[in-house]
Structure 1
Amino acid sequence: MTIEDLDTEAMDAVPTVAGKSDLDIKANQSFPGVVVRKDLVGRVRGNAVVPGYVLEFLLAQYCATDDEKTIDAGIESVRNILAEHYVNRGEAELVKSRIRDRGRHRIIDKVSVVLDDRKDLHTASFSNLGLKGIAIDDGTVKRHQKLLTGGVWCMADLEYTPGVGNTEDRWTIAGVKPIQLGSFDADQFLLSRGHFSTAEWIDLLMQSIGFDPTMLSTRSKLLQLVRLIPFVERNYNLVELGPKGTGKSHIYSEFSPHGILISGGEVTVPKLFVNNSNGKIGLVGFWDVVAFDEFAGQKRVDKGLVDIMKNYMANKTFSRGIETIGAEASMVFVGNTARPVPAMLAHSDLFEVLPEAYHDSAYLDRVHHYLPGWEVEIIRRELFTSGYGFVVDYLAEALRHMRAQDFSDQYASHFDLSEDISTRDRDGVRKTFSGLMKLIYPHRQATVGEIEELLRFAIEGRKRVKDQILRIDQTMDAVKFGYTDRSGVWHDVTTQEEVDYPHYYHRDGRASGPSETNGDAPVAASAVAADLSAATAAPAPRLKTGAVDIPENALGYSYKRLFVPYLEGATKIVIIDPYIRAPHQILNLADLLMDIAASKLDGDIVEVELHTGEANDTVERRLLQMTMLDELRQSISYAGIELRVLFDAGHDRQITTDTGWRILLGRGLDIFQPTGKMDRFDVRKYLQHYKRSKATTITYLREESSG
C-alpha cells in the first residue's frame, strides 16, 4: 500500500465510543499521558495570549487522559492556574502588588536575558509583567541558553523585598523553569509507532497539529508534514509562498519550543548569526528552526545579510572575524503571494514576490524544497479536530531526537536518482525524503511503494525550485528530474503546476518537463478537459470509448465534461454508487443532476434511478441522508428530472443509459478533494474544474441501445 491508497470511505467515519474514534482510543492506549484532546486548548485559552505549546504543557499535566470526568476537572485546574499565575499585560501592576503582599509568587511569563557588561551580570526581563534588569544567576542562564536569544516562556518564582536599594534590587528570581517536557523515551516512542498503520500514524500527526484528517486529502496531509521537516532535519532550507490565511506561520510560532518565528523585516546579521562587537552568537546558534514571517515584499534588504545567509544555507557555517562557526538551525521563509499561480507562470516565476536581493539564482539554489502554499486549504473552523493528538511539546522532543538520525539513503536499495541531478538538487531531494521518512516511518518500516511515494514528493519539491531558477537564470542547464527502479524502468516526476497549467509552465521551453517516453507522468488536466470539451459537441456515436485516468490533485475536471456528453439524449439514467450518504456526496449528486438538467431540452423528462447504500452508522446520519435526498428529489423535479432512490447498491459504481452507454466509476461520483466549508463566492462552489481531483479511473463502454 502506498500513501496514495490511504483515502476514501474514511470521509464517512464517525466516532465509535463515547465520542472517541478508533484512532483516539489507540492513541490513548499506545501513548498514555502524552496525548490530549486538541479542542481543549481553545477551551482554556481565554484571554491568555500564550503559544499553544504552553497551554498543552499545562493540559498534559491534568488532561492527558480519555476519562471525561478527569478532563473536566483538569480543565478547571488549568483555568485556575492561568487565572492565578499567567500574567496578563493589562493586569501587570496588580500582579506586582500581589507579589509584594505575599513576598513570593509564581508567574507564567516570557523571560528574556541579556548580559549587563557594566554590572558584569545577567539580567532578566519579563515580557508581560514589564520588569527589566532583574538579576538572574549564571547557572540558570547556562542551563537554558535560549533565554539569551529572544526569550522563553517560563514558570518563574519571583520574590520582593521592600526597602532594599534600587528598584531592581528589590526583585529576586528564586527559580526559573522553561515550559517544556522534562524527559523523552525514544525507544518507547518507536515501539509505540509500530502499533499504527501508515494511515493511522499520518492521521495522528494531523490531529497533533490540530487538523481533522478526514477534511484533508492525502496530498494535503503531506504538505502539512513538510512544514515539520525543519524540526526533524538539520540545516533544512524551506520556502513556502501562498495566499493569506493558510496557517503558514502557525507551526513556527505555536508548535514547538525549539523554533522561533521572527518578522522578515527584523532580520540582521548580529541578530541572526553573530555580533562581532561582543562575540554574541545569534539565533542560529540556539534554535532548531528559525522562521522568517512576511518574508515576501520587503523593500530594504541588507546585501551583507544575503551573502552570509547564502554561505550558511550552503555550508552550515558562518564567520566571526577569522573564526568559522557551525550551526544546525533550519531556515524557513514564508510569505504571501500576490497573484494566482497561472498569472505568475505566464508573466514571471513562482518566486516573484521575494525581495530583489533574494530573487537571485545563487540564493534560491540553496533552497531544498518549495512548498506550494496555494495548495494548502484556507484555515476554517471545520478543519480543526476535536480528536486526540500528541501534546505538542512531546512531539517536538520526538522530532528533536530524530534530528540526529539520517534516513536519506533509505531509497537507495530500490531506486536511483537521475544522473542529471546536481549535487545541490540531490541534497534537496535527499533531505526532504529523509525528513518525511523520520516523520512517518521513524521505526524504518516502510514498504517499497511507500518509499517511492515519498521520493516522488521530495523530487517534486526540489524540481519546483529548479524550474523557477531556470526562468531567472538563463545560463543554467535544464535538469531531467526522476528516478530509475531496480528493473531499469525510468520514472519522470512532474510538479503539480506542470500538470495543472502545462502551457504556462513550459512557455519558454526551459522547464525540466517529462520525457516523451514517460509512462508515469499524469495526463495534463487541461488536455483531458479539452479532449472532452471537444467531444461535447460531437454526436453520441462518435464519443470515445476507453479509460481516462484522472491524476491525484489535478485541476480541470468536472461532471459537465466527464459525464454529460455521454448522457445527452437519454431518457433513463441509472446511477449505482453505494456512497451517496454523506452531505458532500449528496451535493455531488445534485451537481450532476443539475448538469443533466441544463443539457436537455426544456420539454424533455429524464428518469434518474439512484442505487445507493444507507447511512446506517447513526440515526442522525440516516435521517440527514433521507432528508437531503428527498429535498433533492423534489427540487430537481422542477427541471424535468424524476429522481428515484433505491437502497440496494452493492459495490459496483457505474452509470448506464438507455442510449447504450455504460460509464464505470472507479470511486463513484466522489472524485474531488474535500474543500471544507466554502465562502459564499468561492469559485469552486460554482465551477467544478477549479476543484482538485482524487486519483481515479473512468471507463467509457458502448453497448447496444436498449431502445
Structure 2
Amino acid sequence: MDAMTDMGTLDRSITDICPEYTVRKDLVGAVKGNALVPTYVLEYLLSKYATTTDQASIDAGVDRVRTILADNYVHREEANLIQSKIREKGRYQVIDKVQVALNEKTDQYEATFENLGISRVIVDPETVRKNPKLLVTGIWCLCMLVYAYSGEKNEVPWRLHRLMPVQMSHDDREHYLAVRERFTAGEWIDLLMQSVGFNPSLFSDRAKLLHLVRMIPFVERNYNLIELGPKGTGKSHIYSEFSPHGMLISGGEVTVAKLFVNNTTGRPGLVGFWDVVAFDEFAGRAKKAGKDLVDIMKNYMANKSFSRGVSVMQAEASMVFVGNTSHNVPYMLKNSDLFEELPAQYHDPAFLDRIHYYLPGWEFEQIRSEMFTHGYGFVVDYLAEILHNQRDVDYGAAFERYFTLSSTLSTRDKDAIRKTFSGLMKLIYPSGNATPEQMEPLLRCAIEGRKRVKDQLCRIDSTMAEVDFSYTRAGSADPIAVRTLEEADYPDLYWRDRPDAAASIAAEDATLFAPLLTDSDTSASAESRGIDAVAQAGSAEQSDDTAQTQVPAAEVSEPVPVTDGEVSQSSTAEPEERKLTPIERWAAQAKEGHIEFREDQRGVTYAKLFGPYIAGAKEISIKDPYIRKSYQVRNFAEFLETVFNYTDRSDEVHVHLITGYTEAQYIDEQIDELNTLQTVFGQLGIVFTYEFDESGHDRSIVSDIGWRIILGRGLDIYQPFDGNWLNPLTRQQRLRRVKAFEVTYVREM
C-alpha cells in the first residue's frame, strides 16, 4: 500500500518539494537497535535508502539500513574484533567517526577512527577537499579499509580505500532558502517541529514558538539560554541528539580547563570547538562551582572572550543551562524566585544578568509517546548544518524599522532581545524578509524571555533598577506592555512586594473580561456566592439528629476554587476589618458527625464530602486498600483534584496514599498509573507519594488541620457507569449514582 494515502497536506508538500533531504521521523526508532549512533547519522542513512513514500520501498530501505548498521557499525568494545576482520579479509567496510589532521613532517593527511581505535591512516587530499569537515569536528563515515602490511618501520598497515560521509559535509543554504519560499510561515514552523520529532498538531502556537527558542543557540552565536522546569519535558534532548555541533555535558563535570583553556597545554576547551555547550542537571542548590570558573564564565558570557595567561581568546559557543525545579511556579514566586534551584555561586545577579532568555520549562508538557510525529521532516543533520552556517547572519535590528523598544531598557536588555529576535527570524524567516505583523510575535516572545530574567533579578538584588518592558509601533506613541505568562497567572505572587503592579494587572484583566460579566458577577465574586450558600445551608442541615440520611453541611453547594489573588487581598486587610479567606470559610463548615447514604442517591461529590475537611491542609494521608484497578485510580485522581481545589496554590500540599497491590499481572499498570499521577499533580504543587501495605483494611483520610474522615467504602462510592468521555458522568460526579456507604467525621485537635 502506498504510504501517500495516509499522508496529510504538509507531508505531501514536504515530500514533493524536498524529498532528498527529508525522512519519515518514526523510522529512526525502527533501525537504531543498540547501536550508539547519533540520530542525525541514522536519519542520513534513512534519507539515502528509505526516502520514498511507497511503503514496500520504505520497508526495504529500513531493512537495508539495519543490515548496514549490523554489519558495519563499530562498537568500541568490538574494536579488536573488527581490526582482526580487516586483517583476515584484506578489506572491510566500517561506520565510524573519522577526523583528519595534516602531518607536517610527512606532508600527508592522516585519519583517526574514533571507535575503531586506529590512527595515522593515510587520506587522499581529494577526499579532504570534498569533505572539509573532516579537518574540523570530524565526520561519521562509511569507509572501506584495506590491510596492507609490509613490515617497514613506522608504516601503518591500514589503507583508506573509499570514504562516504553519512552526515552532511557541505553548505546548502541556497537550496534551503528556495525551499522555504514554497511554505507558509505556519507550515514552515510545523515542518521544523516535525524535523525535531514532534507532532505539531498537539502543540499551541505559543508552545511551538518556545520549542523553537530551544534551537536558537544553534543558529545564534554567543547566545545564553537557561531552561528550568519539571523533569521529563525533554529539556536536554535537542542538545544531545539534534546536531553534531552541540555538546551536552553534566553540570557537575565542568572545569576551567575542560570548558575554556588548559593553561598547561594551551589547548582550547569546549567553547573553542562547539557551537553549543549545554550544561545538563545544572540546577541543585547543594552543587558547588569554583569561583574562578564562575568568573571566567561571566566574562565569556558578556564579552565572548576568555583569558589564556596574558593573551585573550575569542569564541562563538552559545551557552545553555538546563535543570529541574523542585517546586511549582506559585510556590517559587511566593517563597523565593524562579532561579531558586541554582547553586549559590550561580544564584548571582552578575551571572544571571548575562542570560539572554529564561525559557519557562514548566510550560512544556511531560513527553508522551503520542507527541512524537509519524510525519516527514528535514534530516536533522541537514538542518543542523544549515543553522550552523546561518550563525554568520544577524537580523537583530530588522524590527527597528517598525518597532521601538522602551528607552528604560538597559543595553544588556536590548542586546538580549535583539539576539533572541534574530534567532527566531533565522529559524522562521531565514531570508530576513518578514512583514511587521510577522515580526511582532517574535519580538514579544524575545521581550518576554528577557523580562523573566530581569524581574527575578529585581527580587534577588534590591538595587537592580526596574525597567519597562514595552515597545511602540512606528507612527504611534502608545506603549505596548509585555507580560510573562506567570505574571498574568499569579499577579499577587509575582508582584508580592508591589501591590500596585498586581492591582494594575488585575484591573487590566477586569477590563478585558468585562463584556462577559453580568451585573451579579461584578457585584459579588462567584467564590463569595458559593461560600455564602454553603454557610447558610450548613446551619440548617447538619445536626446529630438529621445527619443519618442527609448530605453533610458543607455539601449543599460546591465552592469555586480559591485564587491566589483572593488569598492575598484578604491577608492584607486591617485586623479589625479582616474577612475570612475562601479557604477559611470552607474550613469553618466542617463539623463532626456520621452520615449514611442510600444506594442510588445522586448529588454526592468528593468536594461536598471532603472539601471542608481538607481546606487549607498541607499534609494529607489517605488509607484505601483498593486503589488498584484503573477506575479506582481515576477515583483517586478526582480526590487529588479536590485537594487541588481546596488548598492554597502558593503552598505545596503533600498527599500520601497507602493502598494494596492489584492482581500480579496488572501490577505494572497500577504502578505506571500512580507514577503518572505523581508527575501531573506534582507540576500543580501536589506532592503525591504512595506505598503498598497488604495488611491494612481500614479506610480513612487524615489531614494536618485536625480532621480524620473514616470511609466505609473508601473512595469507591459510585455505581459503575459508561466511561466514554462523551458521557457527562465522567466529568460530573453529582450526576452519578452512589453505592450505599457511610462516612464519619472526627475532630482530632
Query: TM-score, structure 2 length as denominator?
Result: 0.65
SS of residue matched to 2:392: coil
Q: 2:294 aligned with 1:300, yes or no?
A: no
Match of 1:258 in 2: 245
484, 492, 495: which is aligned to 1:506?
495
Distance 1:349 1:42, change over 3 A: same
Report what 2:417 is aligned to: 429
1:365–1:466 contact (8 Å) kept in structure 2: yes
Give the conservation status (yes or no) of the 8 Å contact 2:96–2:114.
yes
Deviation at 1:429, TM superposition (A): 0.8
> Match for 2:339 among 351, 363, 374?
351
How far apart in 2 are the matches of 1:113 and 1:686?
A: 49
Moved more, 79-88 or 105-114: 105-114
Distance 1:324 1:119, change over 3 A: same
Q: Is the 8 A contact 2:217 2:320 kept in 1?
A: yes
Distance in 1, Cα, partners of 2:130 & 2:252: 31
Equivalences for residues 624-643 of structure 1 within 5 A = none
Residue by residue, what CA displacement relative to the aligned partner does 1:57-93 show, whole Å, maximum 9, x if unpaired?
1111122232323322221221121112112345434
1:36 and 2:30 correspond: no
Q: Aligned residue pairs: how many?
A: 551
Q: What residue is the counterpart of 1:488 in the other structure?
A: 477
Q: Deviations over 1:179-216 (max 9, x none)?
A: 42144432332232122222211111111110111111
| Structure-1 residue corresponding to 2:691 | none
1:154 shift after superposition? 3.7
CA change 1:267–1:512 in 2 (3 A) is farther
Q: Corresponding residue for 2:222?
A: 235
Superimposed CA distance per residue, residues 6-55 of structure 1 (whole angstroms, 9 cap, x where no aligned partner): xxxxxxxxx99511110000111221211110001111111212111010
1:127 CA drift (Å): 4.7
- The answer as to 2:40 corresponding to 1:53 is yes
Residues 415 and 427 (structure 1), Cα distance of their counterparts in 2 relative to 1, 3 Å cut: same
Q: What one-letter code is carried by the residue in structure 2 that aligns with 1:509?
A: R
Give the Cα–Cα distance (whole angstroms) in 2 for the partners of residues 114 and 23 of structure 1. 43
8 Å contact from structure 1 (residues 480, 514) kept in 2: no
Task: Choose the corresponding residue for 1:185, options 161, 166, 172.
Answer: 172
Aligned partner of 2:310 in structure 1 is 322
Aligned to 1:534: 528
Q: 1:459 to 1:136 in 2, by over 3 A?
A: farther
What are the superposed Cα offsets for residues 503-557 of structure 1, whole Å, 9 maximum, x if unpaired? 2222233998796799599979xx9999443344578xxxxxxxxxxxxxxxxxx
How far off its partner does 1:419 sit? 1.2
Where does residue 681 of structure 1 map in the other structure? 677
Q: Secondary structure at the match of 1:318?
A: strand
Kindly report which structure 2 residues correspond to 1:643-654, keeping only aligned pairs within 5 A, or say none: none
1:693 matched residue in structure 2 = none
Question: Is the contact between residue 146 and residue 286 of structure 1 (CA under 8 Å) also seen in structure 2?
Answer: no
Q: Partner residue of 2:394?
A: 406
CA-based RMSD of the aligned residues comes to: 4.2
Cα distance in structure 2, aligned partners of 1:146 and 1:358: 35
Say whether the 8 Å CA contact 2:3–2:55 is kept in structure 1. no
Match of 1:67 in 2: 54
CA displacement at 1:475 relative to structure 2: 1.5
Match of residue 465 from structure 2 = 477
Q: Deviations over 1:223-257 (max 9, x none)?
A: 11011001111111111111211111111111111
Aligned to 1:211: 198
Taking the aligned partners of 1:135 and 1:597, their CA distance within structure 2 comes to 79
Instruction: Tell me which residue corresponds to 2:644.
Output: none
- Please report how far the alpha carbon of residue 488 of structure 1 lies from its aligned counterpart in structure 2 after TM superposition: 1.9
Choose the corresponding residue for 2:454, options 466, 470, 474: 466
Contact kept? 1:493, 1:521, Cα under 8 Å: no
Would the alpha carbon gap of residues 164 and 299 (structure 1) be closer, same or farther in structure 2, given more than 3 Å must change?
A: farther
Q: Indicate how the Cα distance of structure 1 residues 224 and 474 shifts in structure 2: closer, same or farther if over 3 A, else same.
A: same
Q: Residue 443 of structure 2: SS of its match in structure 1?
A: helix
Residue 288 to residue 17, structure 1, CA distance change in 2 (3 Å): same
Counterparts of 2:500 and 2:240 in 1: how far apart (Å)?
35
Distance in 2 (alpha carbons) for counterparts of 1:229 and 1:282:
22
Partner of 1:387: 375
Contact 2:362 2:683 in 1 (8 A): no
User: After superposition, what is the alpha-carbon deviation per residue over 1:582-628, rounded to whole angstroms, capped at 9, x for unaligned?
Assistant: xxxxxxxxxxxxx99969999xxxxxxxxxxxxxxxxxxxxxxxxxx
Q: 1:447 to 1:520 in 2, by over 3 A?
A: farther
Report the counterpart of residue 12 of structure 1 in structure 2: none
Counterparts in 2 of 1:114 and 1:248: CA distance versus 1, 3 Å: farther
One-letter amino acid of the counterpart of residue 73, structure 2: Y
Counterpart CA distance in 2 for 1:474 and 1:686 is: 31
Q: Which has the higher contact order (CA 8 A, sep 6+)?
A: 1
Deviation at 1:115, TM superposition (A): 11
Amino acid in the other structure paired with 2:481? D
Alignment match, 2:549:
none
Q: Report the Cα distance in structure 2 between the residues aligned to 1:238 and 1:514, rounded to whole angstroms.
A: 31
Deviates more, 1:232-241 or 1:255-264: 255-264
1:103-130 residue CA offsets vs partner (Å, 9 max, x unmatched): 232311245689999999998765544x
On the 8 A contact 1:105/1:159 being kept in 2, the answer is yes
Report the secondary structure of 2:93's partner residue. Answer: strand
Residue type of the partner of 2:527?
S
* Residues 168 and 462 of structure 1, relative CA distance in 2, 3 Å threshold: farther
SS of the residue corresponding to residue 278 of structure 2 reads strand
Q: Distance in 1 between matches of 2:674 and 2:381?
A: 33
Gaps of 5+ in 1: 1-14, 540-558, 563-594, 603-676, 691-707
SS at match of 1:105: strand
Amino acid at match of 2:282: F
The more displaced of 428-437 and 392-401 is 392-401
Contact 1:158–1:173 (CA<8 Å) still a contact in 2? yes
Share of identical aligned residues, percent?
Answer: 54
- Checking the alignment, whether the CA contact within 8 Å between 2:3 and 2:54 is kept in structure 1 is no
Written as runs of structure 1 = structure 2, the 5 A alignment for 1:96-111 is: 96-111=83-98
Amino acid at match of 2:399: Y
Distance 2:682 2:159 in 1: 64
- Is the alpha carbon distance of 1:498 and 1:330 closer, same or farther for their aligned partners in structure 2, counting shifts above 3 Å? same
> 2: CA distance between counterparts of 1:319 and 1:433?
30
Change (3 A) 1:365 1:117: farther
Query: What is the alpha-carbon distance in structure 2 between the residues aligned to residue 204 and residue 393 of structure 1?
Result: 15
* Counterpart AA for 2:190: D
Q: 1-side partners of 2:187 and 2:370: how far apart? A: 20
Distance 2:441 2:351 in 1: 28
Name 1:444's counterpart in structure 2.
Answer: 432
Change in Cα spacing, 1:113 to 1:600, as seen in structure 2 (3 Å) is: closer
Whether the aligned pair in 1 keeps the contact of 2:470 and 2:481 (CA below 8 Å) is yes
| Inter-partner Cα distance in structure 1 for 2:65 and 2:510 | 52
Report the AA paired with residue 235 of structure 1.
Answer: N
CA contact (8 A) 2:131 2:169 kept: no
Q: Confirm or deny: 8 A CA contact 1:467 1:511 kept in the other structure.
A: no
Instruction: Give the corresponding residue for 2:732.
Output: none
Query: Which residue matches 1:24?
Result: 11
Moved more, 292-301 or 413-422: 292-301
Q: For the structure 1 residues 137 and 683, does the alpha-carbon distance in structure 2 shift closer, same or farther, using more than 3 Å as the test?
A: closer
Between the aligned partners of 1:172 and 1:599, the Cα distance in structure 2 is 75
Q: How far apart are the structure 2 equivalents of 1:406 and 1:513?
A: 37
